[in-house]
């Protein structure tokens, strides 16, 4: 059970102390090798779990995406681990030394979602290892085949005193989040995150939450509508929109909505000229429950007056083609909930300020996509909005760049992993002040305001604090 495993790993962490650079580097090297070795097995397993998922997507998004995270950590690990010298306050400068050391937190819990079980478990694991931690992973219940591959590839290189994996056999996932981890990473929905936070609060466990949300794709007046439609469509068809940073809805100039809709349909048919029914190159919605959730949003929008354009024939099964929704209104579920599927609502706007007001009035998204050739306009939009990350003139590519943090803001999460920010997230930044034996800190000792010591104390008090405002009352220092 998780509580026994956590106690055992915490005990081992205390006994062993922080792992050395070479040990961490060797573990990352082994993980990279395993990702390459098991890529075919994982791709087949993911296709089995989803009822059809393209091998290209499994390799690009999960295998290669994770490999890039590992590579970046391997290249930069020594620099990340090195203590950082800092300048002491002037009063304490001279022979004294001040530095920040990065200490592993201990045992990190990682809860991965069903849409990317490898990338969103082994990506955070990479950061945990780089920071010198041990890890316990909870894989999703909906991906048993992928879980088995992940368990096998990890078991071959890590013993159960370093990394432990639970999967669908853990019948009550809340048993995991209720444990007193030294840090807990959760990727998933806002609804589940609230219960995770409540569990973590009982132990004051620090959290990293990556939650998704409704990521807008904004098409500026100056940008070519057909090109924007092509790239946004790609964002919606990759894994059939089952990606936390997929474009959730599009904001398009009002007079170009019809052209944009037609561009999306043309792009979809360009990607899949033979349609998607029984086509292995198009990702299936993972199960009937998720399909019914998406269809419920679609039906709700249609009942409330949305116009639906289907990009290709559909047989009603889980390979659901992209549906473009225009004439949408705020009372529709599709405009209130994260879509996480092949639906693309399109909202028309009259003026750039309307876009800013629309996006800013809603919870901060995990990603924001802006299509504009005008650098000044792009800077203005970014300065007036908030999101976890941004890609300009495309979608999603900021996430696969392992040198930058990945995380949300506000309702889309907090904290981050990837890059040096992830390393520091899973480390305790520990300041160390080393007083030189000759440095006279006894000058700060009592008694105060007497003799030569008092002169020194008055001097530095006035130097740093200045004089109080006599008109406010209060007793001047030294009186």
Mean pLDDT over 329-352 rounds to: 97
Q: Are residues 237 and 277 in the same domain?
A: yes
Q: Which comes out higher in pLDDT, residue 478 or 146?
A: 146
Question: How many percent of the chain have pLDDT more than 90?
Answer: 85
Phi/psi at 97 (nearest 5 deg)? -125, 145
Mean pLDDT over 325-333 rounds to: 97
Q: Are residues 147 and 78 in the same domain?
A: yes
Taking the C-alpha atoms of residue 87 and residue 94, their distance in angstroms, rounded to an integer, is 10
Name the H helices within 82-209: 119-130, 144-155, 174-177, 190-201
How confident is the model over 148-194, as pLDDT tens digits? 999 999 999 999 999 999 998 877 778 899 999 999 999 999 999 99
How confident is the model over 65-102, as pLDDT tens digits? 999 999 999 999 999 999 999 999 888 888 999 999 99
HSE value, Cβ hemisphere, 13 Å, CA-based, for 382: 16
Residue 471 resides in a domain:
no
Mean pLDDT over 338-357 rounds to: 97
Residue 470 resides in a domain:
no
In this predicted structure, what is the pLDDT of residue 466? 87
Q: Both ends of the chain: CA-CA distance in Å?
A: 65
How confident is the model over 125-135, as pLDDT tens digits? 999 999 999 99
In this predicted structure, what is the pLDDT of residue 458? 83
Q: Are residues 77 and 176 in the same domain?
A: yes
Q: Are residues 165 and 237 in the same domain?
A: no
DSSP 123: H
Q: Are residues 52 and 76 in the same domain?
A: yes
Taking the C-alpha atoms of residue 131 and residue 422, their distance in angstroms, rounded to an integer, is 9
How confident is the model over 226-277, as pLDDT tens digits? 999 999 999 999 999 999 999 999 999 999 999 999 999 999 999 999 999 9
At 79, which CATH number?
3.40.605.10
pLDDT band at 330; cut points 50, 70, 90: very high
Residue 450 resides in a domain:
no
Enclosing domain of residue 260: 216-402
In this predicted structure, what is the pLDDT of residue 93? 84
DSSP 370: E
Q: Are residues 205 and 235 in the same domain?
A: no
- The total number of structural domains that make up the chain: 2
Q: Which H helix or E strand runs over 304?
A: none
At 276, which CATH number?
3.40.309.10
Residue 27 resides in a domain:
yes
| Tokens encoding 37 | 């070795």
Taking the C-alpha atoms of residue 396 and residue 246, their distance in angstroms, rounded to an integer, is 7
pLDDT band at 14; cut points 50, 70, 90: very high
Q: Are residues 226 and 344 in the same domain?
A: yes
Q: Are residues 143 and 255 in the same domain?
A: no
How confident is the model over 389-417, as pLDDT tens digits? 999 999 999 999 999 999 999 999 999 98
Residue 462 resides in a domain:
no
Taking the C-alpha atoms of residue 30 and residue 167, their distance in angstroms, rounded to an integer, is 22
In this predicted structure, what is the pLDDT of residue 77? 98
In this predicted structure, what is the pLDDT of residue 479? 67
Q: Are residues 97 and 227 in the same domain?
A: no
- This prediction has a pTM of 0.94
In this predicted structure, what is the pLDDT of residue 155? 97
In this predicted structure, what is the pLDDT of residue 276? 96
For all residues of the chain together, what is the average pLDDT? 95
Residue 72 resides in a domain:
yes
Q: Print the SS3 string covering 246-297.
A: CCCEEEEEHHHHHHHHHHHHHHHHHHCCCCCCCCCCCCCCCCHHHHHHHHHH
Tell me the catalytic residues: 210, 244
In this predicted structure, what is the pLDDT of residue 1? 64
pLDDT band at 447; cut points 50, 70, 90: confident
Q: Are residues 13 and 101 in the same domain?
A: yes
Residue 454 resides in a domain:
no
Q: Are residues 257 and 319 in the same domain?
A: yes
pLDDT band at 454; cut points 50, 70, 90: confident
Mean pLDDT over 328-348 rounds to: 97
Least confident of 50-59, 380-389, 391-400, 467-476: 467-476
Taking the C-alpha atoms of residue 229 and residue 252, their distance in angstroms, rounded to an integer, is 10
In this predicted structure, what is the pLDDT of residue 438? 87
Q: Are residues 236 and 95 in the same domain?
A: no
């Amino acid at each position: 059970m998780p509580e026994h495993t956590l106690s055992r790993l915490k005990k081992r962490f205390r006994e062993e102390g922080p792992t050395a650079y070479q040990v961490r580097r060797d573990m990352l090297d082994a993980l990279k090798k395993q990702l390459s070795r098991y890529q075919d097995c994982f791709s087949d397993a993911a296709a089995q779990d989803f009822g059809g998922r393209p091998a290209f997507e499994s390799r690009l998004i999960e295998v290669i995406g994770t490999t890039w995270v590992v590579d970046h950590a391997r290249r930069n690990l020594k620099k990340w681990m090195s203590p950082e010298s800092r300048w002491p306050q002037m009063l304490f400068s001279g022979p004294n030394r001040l530095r920040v050391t990065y200490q592993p937190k201990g045992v990190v819990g990682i809860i991965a979602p069903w849409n990317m079980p490898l990338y969103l478990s082994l990506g955070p694991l990479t950061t945990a290892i780089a920071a010198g931690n041990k890890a316990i992973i909870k894989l999703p219940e909906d991906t048993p085949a992928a879980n088995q591959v992940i368990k096998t590839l990890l078991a071959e290189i890590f013993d159960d005193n370093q990394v432990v994996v639970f999967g669908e056999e853990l019948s009550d996932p809340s048993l995991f989040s209720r444990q007193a981890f030294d840090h807990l990473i959760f990727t998933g929905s806002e609804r589940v995150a609230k219960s995770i936070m409540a569990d973590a609060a009982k132990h004051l466990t620090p959290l990293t939450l990556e939650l998704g949300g409704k990521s807008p794709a904004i098409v500026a007046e100056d940008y070519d509508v057909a090109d924007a439609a092509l790239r946004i469509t790609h964002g919606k068809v990759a894994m059939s929109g089952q990606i936390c940073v997929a474009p959730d809805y599009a904001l398009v100039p009002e007079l170009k909505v019809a052209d944009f809709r037609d561009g999306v349909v043309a792009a979809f048919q360009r990607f899949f000229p033979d349609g998607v029914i029984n086509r292995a190159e198009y990702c299936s919605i993972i199960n009937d429950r998720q399909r019914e959730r998406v269809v419920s949003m679609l039906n709700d929008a249609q009942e409330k007056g949305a116009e639906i354009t289907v990009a290709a024939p559909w047989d009603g099964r889980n390979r659901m083609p992209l549906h473009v929704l225009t004439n949408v209104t705020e009372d529709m579920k599709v405009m209130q909930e994260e879509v996480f599927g092949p639906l693309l609502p399109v909202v028309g706007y009259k003026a750039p300020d309307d876009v800013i007001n629309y996006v800013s009035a809603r919870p901060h998204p995990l990603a924001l996509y802006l299509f504009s050739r005008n650098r000044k306009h792009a800077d203005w939009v970014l300065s007036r909005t908030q999101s976890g990350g941004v890609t300009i003139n495309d979608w999603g590519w900021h996430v696969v760049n392992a040198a930058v943090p990945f995380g949300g803001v506000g309702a889309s999460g907090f904290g981050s992993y990837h890059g040096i920010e992830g390393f520091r997230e899973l480390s305790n930044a520990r300041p160390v002040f080393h007083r030189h034996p000759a440095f006279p800190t006894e000058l700060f000792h009592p008694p105060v305001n007497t003799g030569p010591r008092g002169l020194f104390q008055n001097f530095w008090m006035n130097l740093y604090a200045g004089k109080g405002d006599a008109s406010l009352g209060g007793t001047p220092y030294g009186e």
